[in-house]
Structure 1
Amino acid sequence: MRLVYLLLFVLSSSSTQAQTAPLRQQIDALFASPKPQVLLLGTFHFAGERVDANTTPAYLRVDIRSPSRQAQLGEVIKRIARFNPTKIAIEASPNAKQYIDSVYAAYRAGKFRGDKRVSEEDELYQLGFRLADRLGHRELFPIDAPPFRIRFSPVDSLTMFTKYEHQADSSFAFWDQQYTTYAKLQDSLKYHASVVDYLRFLNTDDTQSRSIGRWLVTTKRGTNREPIGADGFISRYYNRNLRIYSNIQRLITSPSDRILVLYGNTHLYILKHLIKASPEFELADTMDYLN
C-alpha cells in the first residue's frame, strides 16, 4: 500500500511540474530583457584610513605608493579591466563633477600629482583614475549622496530621540567591543595581505554583511512606541545608500551599459541588495574578476 501511495505522489508531482513549468517560464520571461550590468567593487580608503570614524593606526597604514603595493594594485586593475566597463562610478559628490573632470583630464595629460581634495594616495587617484585611463574613458561619475535630513513630526521629536541616548542595554557595550576588535583585526589583515587578497576578503558576503552589523545592534534603541534606533538606521544608513543607488540608476543610457561602482566597502551590503533586487540591472559577480 505504501508503494502505491508513493507512486501516486510521484505521478502527482510530475503532473504538477508539467503544468506549472510553462507558467514559471512565462514569469521568468517577464524579467529576461537585456539589462545593464553592474559590478560592485568594495574598497578600503587607500589614504591610510584617515577619513572615517574607524581610523587605522599609523603603524598599520598601507603605503599604496610603495613599489610592492603598486605592483599589487596593477594586478587588481588588470583583473577589473576585464569587466570592460562603459562607465565608472565613484564615491564622490555629484557637486564635484566639474572638479573631478578637470583633475582627471590633467592626470591623463601627465600634469596632475594630487592635491588637497584628491591626494596621490587616494583610491580615486590610484584605482579610479588609473583604471579609467587604461580603458580610455574621458570622465568618471560621482554618485555619493548625503543621508536624508529628518524633519521631525510632533510624535517624532528631537526630545524623543535624545531621551534614549543613554538607554541601558548590555548588548550595545558587548557588540561595540566585538566590532572594535574586529576593526583591529581587519587593519592587521589589510597590512599583511596583498591588495588583491584584501579586496577579496572585503568583497565576500560575510564581510559585507558584518559591515552593517554594528549598526543593526542599535536598532532596538527606544521602545515599541518610539523605535528611534530603527528610525535612525533607516534615515541615516539605509536612506543614504538608497540615494546612492538612485544615482546609479540615472547613469544608465543603454541596455549595453556596464557600470563599475568603486565604493567604500561598508556601503556594499545594501547596494548589492538593491542592485540584485532591481529589475533594471544584472549584478556581475565581483569574485569572477578578483579571483
Structure 2
Amino acid sequence: MHKKYFHKYWYVLILFWLALPGLALAQKASIKTADKRLETIFEDDKPKPRVLLLGVFHFAGEQVDANTTPANLRVDMLSAERQKQIEHLVHQLAAFKPTKIVIEDSPRRQHYYDSLYNAFKAGKLPAGKAAWPADETIQLAFRLAKLMNHETLYPADAQAFRFKLSHQDSILTFEKYKDQGDSSYTYWDKAYEAEKAYEDSLNFHLPLNEYLRYLNSPQRQAKAIGRWLVTTKRGSNTEPIGADGFVTRYFNRNVRIYSNIQRIVTSKHDRILVIYGATHMYLLKQLFEASPEFIVEDVMKYLN
C-alpha cells in the first residue's frame, strides 16, 4: 500500500475509534428517547390498575395434596409460631392497600365464598372439609380482606379448554405417543422430584416470609414452567402433541385466569392482589407486564 494511503487509512481508523464513545452515547440517548416516547403513547404516566402477584403453596398441605410431603416435613400452619408469621405477612400485604383480592377457585363458587367469608368475619367458620381452617384462602386472603374492610373476594380460576376438545384432537392423539421413548423425561422427572424434596425441607425450616421470597423469585418461577417445556417435544413434526398440550392446558388455563382478573377491574385506581399457586406466577407475570392496562408491583418489598 502506498505510504500516503496507508497514513490516510490509519487516520480514518483513529477518528472512528475516537468517535465510538460518542456513538454509543448517541445510541443510548436514542433508545432512551424511544422508550420515553412509548411510555407517552401508552400513557404509562397516568393512573392504571396496579397488580401484586403473590405465589403461595397450599397452606392446608396434605388435605389438598395428598401424600406429597413426608410426614416429618409437613407444616402445621395453625401452630402458634406459624400463626404469628401469617399475621405478620397479612400486615405486610396490607401496605399494598389492595382494593380487590383474587383467590384460586372458580368464579362459579362466588356465592360459596361470600357465605364462607361472612361466616369468617362473624367468627362462625363451619367445621369439616368444606372449609379447611389452614387453607391459604382463609388464613391469608380472608384475614387481609377483613382487615381492609372488603365486602367480598374474587375467585378467578379457570379450566383449560383441552378438556373440551374432541377425543381425536386430544386424548387419542396423546395416547398414541404416551410410550414415546426419550431419556430426558426420566432424567428431568428425577430432577423435579429432587426439587420438590428440597422445597419441602425449605418450607418446613424457613419462616413463612422467607419461603415465599424463594417461591416468588424469578429463577424459581422459571424452573416451574420448565417442567412443562420438557414435554413439548412429545409427538412428531406432523402431530406435535407435546406443544399442543402445553398450549391447550398450561398456557390456556393461565391466559383464562388472566382474562378473569381483567374483568374484575372497575377503576383505574384498583389495586389488585392475586394470591395464587406459585407455579402459575411465571406466566401470569409475563401477561400482566406485557399488558398496557396494568402496572405490576414488586412483590418482594412486601415479603420482608
Q: When the two structures are superposed, what TM-score results if normalisation uses the length of structure 2?
A: 0.89
Find the partner of 1:255 among 240, 243, 268.
268
SS in 2 for 1:110: coil
In the alignment, the residues of structure 2 paired with residue 16 and residue 194 of structure 1 have an alpha-carbon distance, to the nearest angstrom, of 46
Contact 1:150 / 1:235 at 8 angstroms: preserved in 2?
no
In the alignment, the residues of structure 1 paired with residue 132 and residue 202 of structure 2 have an alpha-carbon distance, to the nearest angstrom, of 24
- Relative distance call for 1:91 and 1:54 in structure 2 (3 A) is farther
Which residue number corresponds to residue 171 of structure 1?
184
- Relative distance call for 1:166 and 1:15 in structure 2 (3 A) is closer
In the alignment, the residues of structure 1 paired with residue 296 and residue 31 of structure 2 have an alpha-carbon distance, to the nearest angstrom, of 27
Matched, 1:143 2:156: yes
Unaligned runs of 5+ in 2: 1-10
- Relative distance call for 1:40 and 1:142 in structure 2 (3 A) is same
Once the two structures are TM-superposed, the CA of residue 34 in structure 1 deviates from its matched residue by 1.9
SS in 2 for 1:106: helix
Contact 1:77 / 1:131 at 8 angstroms: preserved in 2?
yes
In the alignment, the residues of structure 2 paired with residue 89 and residue 245 of structure 1 have an alpha-carbon distance, to the nearest angstrom, of 11
Which amino acid counterpart does residue 135 of structure 1 have in structure 2? M
- Relative distance call for 1:202 and 1:19 in structure 2 (3 A) is closer
Which residue number corresponds to residue 290 of structure 1?
303
Between 1:14-23 and 1:226-235, the stretch displaced more is 14-23
Contact 2:125 / 2:131 at 8 angstroms: preserved in 1?
no
Note the alpha carbon deviations across 1:148-173, whole angstroms, 9 max, x for none. Answer: 1342496x464332110000000000
Matched, 1:25 2:36: yes
Once the two structures are TM-superposed, the CA of residue 11 in structure 1 deviates from its matched residue by 4.9
Between 1:268-277 and 1:15-24, the stretch displaced more is 15-24
Once the two structures are TM-superposed, the CA of residue 75 in structure 1 deviates from its matched residue by 1.1
Note the alpha carbon deviations across 1:192-246, whole angstroms, 9 max, x for none. Answer: 1111111111110111111121121111001111100010111111111110000
Q: CA RMSD in A?
A: 2.0
Matched, 1:5 2:16: yes
Unaligned runs of 5+ in 1: none
% identical aligned pairs: 50
In the alignment, the residues of structure 2 paired with residue 73 and residue 50 of structure 1 have an alpha-carbon distance, to the nearest angstrom, of 19
In the alignment, the residues of structure 2 paired with residue 14 and residue 195 of structure 1 have an alpha-carbon distance, to the nearest angstrom, of 45
Q: When the two structures are superposed, what TM-score results if normalisation uses the length of structure 1?
A: 0.93
Between 1:232-241 and 1:47-56, the stretch displaced more is 47-56
Q: Which has the larger radius of gyration?
A: 2
Once the two structures are TM-superposed, the CA of residue 26 in structure 1 deviates from its matched residue by 2.3
Matched, 1:200 2:203: no
Which amino acid counterpart does residue 101 of structure 1 have in structure 2? D
In the alignment, the residues of structure 2 paired with residue 238 and residue 143 of structure 1 have an alpha-carbon distance, to the nearest angstrom, of 15
- Relative distance call for 1:38 and 1:9 in structure 2 (3 A) is same
In the alignment, the residues of structure 2 paired with residue 236 and residue 269 of structure 1 have an alpha-carbon distance, to the nearest angstrom, of 15
- Relative distance call for 1:92 and 1:20 in structure 2 (3 A) is closer
In the alignment, the residues of structure 2 paired with residue 194 and residue 20 of structure 1 have an alpha-carbon distance, to the nearest angstrom, of 43
Find the partner of 2:97 among 66, 71, 84.
84
SS in 2 for 1:263: strand
